[in-house]
Amino acid sequence: MYVCLCHGITDKKIMKLTLEHGLTDVRGIRQITPLGSQCGKCIRTAKEVIEDTVAKTYQKAS
């Protein structure tokens, strides 16, 4: 699913970056991509994707 329509960033891209770079917040994703730099409507959804990815990764490690 597209999270950021302005820049074509998907939830899978955000999940991949979160796992590959060990990111835990939107700020980290924004340093790598232009997420939220145009209209900003995607920030809340991106945050949820990151939090879900981190939670699932933590559950697997436990």
Please list the pLDDT of the chain residue by residue as tens digits (62 residues): 999 999 999 999 999 999 999 999 999 999 999 999 999 999 999 999 999 999 998 787 76
Answer whether 49's CB lies under 8 Å from 15's CB: yes
* Those residues with Cβ within 8 angstroms of residue 44's Cβ, 6 or more apart along the chain or in another chain: none
Q: What is the pLDDT of residue 62?
A: 67
Q: What is the pLDDT of residue 59?
A: 82
Kindly provide the b/e burial profile for residues 37-60, where b requires at least 16 CB atoms within 10 angstroms of the residue's own CB. eeeeebbeebbebbeebbeeeeee
Answer whether 57's CB lies under 8 Å from 19's CB: yes
Task: Please state, in angstroms and rounded to a whole number, the distance separating the CA atoms of residues 32 and 6.
Answer: 16
Q: What is the pLDDT of residue 23?
A: 92
Q: Which domains does the chain have, with CATH numbers?
A: 2-61 (1.10.10.1100)
Q: What is the pLDDT of residue 11?
A: 98
